[in-house]
Amino acid sequence: MRVTVFGIGYVGLVQAAVLAEVGHDVVCVDVDENKVENLKKGIIPIYEPGLTPLVESHYKAGRLNFTTDAAKGVEHGEVQFIAVGTPPDEDGSADLKYVLAVASTIAKHMESPKVIIDKSTVPVGTADKVKQKIADILAERSAAIEFDVVSNPEFLKEGAAVNDCMRPDRIIIGTYDERPQDLMRELYAPFNRNHDKVIFMDVRSAELTKYAANCMLATKISFMNEMANLAEILGADIEAVRRGIGSDPRIGYHFIYPGCGYGGSCFPKDVQALIRTSEQHDYQPAILQAVEAVNDRQKSKLPSLVERHFNGQLAGKTIALWGLSFKPNTDDMREAPSRVLLEALWEQGAKVQAFDPEAMEETQRIYGVREDLSLVGTKEAALKGADALIICTEWQQFRAPDFDLIKSQLSEAVIFDGRNLFEPSRMNRKGFTYYAIGRGASV
Ligand code: NAD
């Protein structure tokens, strides 16, 4: 099938590569010339496991192409994916200008029937706007061309995006009527062989499904962070509590890890957007507001533990930081808890020596060159001459470090662990002062 994907970001590029992998003929369109030129040279703009070989092989085979020429893109695909960003507006609601810009582009150039698939995460009612926009432009052009608008939200996880797209748990397809359903089944048939994962529904329900999923996941995290804070106050151990509640199949073990707050491009933005949508309809979303407030507070957890430990005397201290990305296996720094931490440490006059396996380039891009930030090549190098170690992201390589080496490098044997990687009692036996999340007092 001929497919066009507008937006070559995390979602668009992975989706395009995976569609090419199963044999579809894919053209990707982006407004970012640099990105398009780099992709043609084999330079992949994001880190995502398994993505580079897919993109390289299908580009070479001619099944995956990149262009800034929107007219060419519109001409190519019988289906047109919209996978552009929907960043938060000033008030937190989703900014639809990129989505509607693509809708206009498609409408201006289309000469044959198209199915327009909205993959971006968009508020309920956006498909109606896309449909209206296209209808208006076609009317201005006096062009009577059939089109369908479909809502097909994406559920991939950064860090496992290729696998998630190759083996989706579900394929949500919201349509206004039955007309585009056969085409959508054909498009996704290669991903739907083991059992039927396609769930058809109306457009609005599909749009809300995406927000409901992300808000539920964010709720689980904030709930566990609340329990962790209570555990700390009450002298309980959240890890024991986690295992205890996870054993109930109605709760389960998935996604109930406490930590230093959720980040990334999706949870914060989607929780906020659904809050704004609710408020626009005069509904107070009490749970979502609490989820957001708890998360904001949790992001300050590590900075306040550090500040308390050093009695507010952080000026002149050097802090080793392991992990910058908002979660492992990605270079994404959007809304990462590490950013709140870095900025708080700098504010207090501390210097940071940081290491991350993938996100250092992105950190440099965000913060530029500054005297109080050294980005170093290994986790060991980050320890050199530092006064304390903070762990912000649970990369695999941080899980079993050489504790003797850590101790020998730090001026004081103190670790602040925002991801609960180690056993407090073991750390204490090794002579560390160890701060974790919700695991009781530690000396
Ligand atoms: P991104 O910022 O990584 O990429 C968006 C791309 O769209 C950029 O390359 C940008 O240059 C391009 N673009 C903007 N305007 C354009 C236009 N008019 N024509 C062509 N290209 C244009 O975004 P992303 O993380 O891939 O997210 C895209 C959407 O998918 C968002 O709505 C997001 O909420 C949703 N989503 C993201 C994830 C994720 O994990 N990142 C997961 C599921 C859903």
Report CA(417)–ligand 1 centroid distance (Å): 32
Whether the pLDDT of residue 101 is over 60: the answer is yes
- Tokens 């190098």 — which residue? 381
Q: List the residue whose alpha carbon is closest to atom 2 of ligand 1.
A: 85
Report CA(98)–ligand 1 centroid distance (Å): 9
Q: What is the pLDDT of residues 12-57, one digit of tens each?
A: 999 999 999 999 999 999 999 999 999 999 999 999 999 999 999 9
CA 209 to CA 121: how far, in whole Å?
10
State the span(s) of the chain assigned CATH 1.10.1040.10: 211-297
In this prediction, residues 121-135 reach a mean pLDDT of: 98
- Say if ligand 1 is within 6 A of residue 9 CB: yes
Fold of 211-297: N-(1-d-carboxylethyl)-l-norvaline Dehydrogenase; domain 2 (1.10.1040)
Beta-bridged to residue 29, according to DSSP, are 6, 67
For 127, the token pair is 């498909």
Q: Is 165 a catalytic residue?
A: no
Q: What is the pLDDT of residues 241-285, one digit of tens each?
A: 999 999 999 999 999 999 999 999 899 999 999 999 999 999 999
- Domain 2-201 architecture: 3-Layer(aba) Sandwich (3.40)
Nearest atom within ligand 1 for CA of residue 270: 34
ipTM of this predicted structure: 0.99
Q: What is the pLDDT of residues 166-197, one digit of tens each?
A: 999 999 999 999 999 999 999 999 999 989 99
Q: What amino acid occupies position 251?
A: I
Whether the pLDDT of residue 443 is over 50: the answer is no
Binding site as annotated, residues: 30, 35, 86, 121, 155-158, 210, 255-259, 263, 269, 327, 334
In this prediction, residues 376-393 reach a mean pLDDT of: 98
Q: List the residue whose alpha carbon is closest to atom 12 of ligand 1.
A: 7
Binding site as annotated, residues for NAD(+): 30, 35, 86, 121, 158, 269, 334
Q: List the residue whose alpha carbon is closest to atom 42 of ligand 1.
A: 156
Residue whose CB lies within 8 A of the most ligand 1 atoms, among 8, 10, 106, 163, for a mutation test: 10
Report CA(390)–ligand 1 centroid distance (Å): 31
Q: What end-to-end distance do the CA atoms of the chain give, in Å?
A: 62
CA 28 to CA 68: how far, in whole Å?
8
Residue 253's φ and ψ, nearest 5 degrees, are -85, -15
Q: In the chain, pLDDT over 90 holds for what percent of residues?
A: 98
Q: Report CA-CA distances (Å) from 359 to 39, 194, 326, 395, 398.
A: 19, 36, 9, 11, 15
CB within 8 Å of 242: residues ≥ 6 apart: 224, 253, 256, 257, 258
CATH 3.40.50.720 fits 300-435, yes or no: yes
What is the model's pTM?
A: 0.94
CB atoms within 10 A of CB 34: 11
Task: Check if the beta carbon of residue 421 is closer than 8 Å to that of residue 403.
Answer: no
Phi-psi bin for 358: left (phi > 0), alpha (psi -120 to 50), beta?
Answer: alpha
Task: Check if the beta carbon of residue 397 is closer than 8 Å to that of residue 390.
Answer: no
pLDDT at 440: 76
pLDDT at 298: 98
State the span(s) of the chain assigned CATH 3.40.50.720: 2-201, 300-435
- Say if ligand 1 is within 6 A of residue 85 CB: yes
Instruction: Identify the active-site residue in 28, 165, 215, 266.
Output: 266
Whether the pLDDT of residue 383 is over 60: the answer is yes
